[in-house]
Amino acid sequence: MGKRFFLISFLALTYGLTAQSSGPIINDTYLFLRLVEATAATKPHIWNNYFILTYSGNPSRFAGVAFGHENFSVVHPFFRTPDGLFVFYALLPDDVTVISYRLVIDSVWQADANNENYEIDERGVRISLLPVPQRSHRRGPVIRDNVVNFYLQAESGSSVFIMGSFSNWDPFIFPLTEVEHGVFRVAIPLNAGTYHYAFLVNGRRITDPANFNQYTFRSSGQLVSQIVVPPVSR
């Protein structure tokens, strides 16, 4: 009951913040369940398009992380699970082959004790390292005149559909075709206007991970992707 309440509260908080956020929105219920159920710190790992860090060290009151690709200038806080485990998760950054980072535990900078991969910088400071596997670039919607090409990267052979305000949210009108290995596409003619949509991948509904323009319906709290189709210039 405690974990379920925590998950519902965490999702509600996330949905509440999305309307005000201009950055990437992380929307994966399966990931939330995976994190909330975790009970012990593990080495950093990558799951789908996310990387996950954990820390356990009672009676610590704060855990954060700073990254080399941000020049260690921003400390991102971990959240704490019902079992007291500190967890941080984020989308894998584009154009980064190795994530370098340091933890900040109760204002003390340190390397990640759960990560055996590290380097020593010119000041003798130990920097933790997480290699990022090679990935093809995520492609968002491409608009040409009044035709929108929607793309999605997924496991090869997946069943992928798109549903949205342009189809009265019918989940089976517009299937995506696998045009490259693991890359799916569908072209939909749309008049100028604002549209909302989501993908259905093997029966699981997700927002567009390559489109950071998202919208939350106030009536239901449902998070969807948003696209604006401009008028065709004559």
Please check whether residue 221 lies inside any domain of the structure: yes
The number of folded domains in the chain is 2
Residues 85/40, Cβ–Cβ less than 8 Å: yes
In a domain? residue 15: yes
Supply the pTM of this predicted model: 0.52
**Do residue 112 and residue 172 come from a single domain?**
no
Using CA atoms, how far apart are residues 78 and 84, in angstroms rounded to an integer? 11
Q: What is the pLDDT of residues 130-167, one digit of tens each?
A: 998 765 556 789 888 889 999 998 889 999 999 999 99
For residues 143 and 230, give the distance between their C-alpha atoms in angstroms, rounded to a whole number. Answer: 9
Domain boundary among the residues 112, 131, 150 is at: 131
Same domain, 50 and 127: yes
Percent of the chain having pLDDT more than 70? 80
- Could you tell me if residue 234 is inside a domain? no
Residue 201's CB: how many other CB atoms inside 10 A?
17
